[in-house]
Amino acid sequence: MWFRGNSKMTFYTYNYLHASQNTWQYARIIIICVVVLGFILFSIHYLRHRFDMKYKDLSIIFGTLLLLILGMQYNDFSNIQNSIKQSGQMTTVVREAAKQLDVSKESISVNATTPNDNVLIKSSKGFFRVDYNTDGSQFVLERVDLYDSSNVKVEGEK
pLDDT digits (tens, 9 = 90+) for 9-66: 788 888 887 776 566 667 777 888 888 888 888 888 888 887 778 878 888 888 888 8
Mean pLDDT for 123-152 is 82
What confidence category does residue 6 fall into, taking pLDDT thresholds of 50, 70 and 90? low
Q: Report how far apart, in Å, the C-alpha atoms of 12 and of each of 33, 50, 59, 107 are.
A: 31, 55, 43, 11
Give the pLDDT band of residue 82 (cuts 50, 70, 90): low
Residue 3's pLDDT is what? 52
Task: Provide mean pLDDT across the span 143-156.
Answer: 76
CA distances from 94 to 17, 22, 114, 132, 154 (A): 10, 18, 12, 13, 15
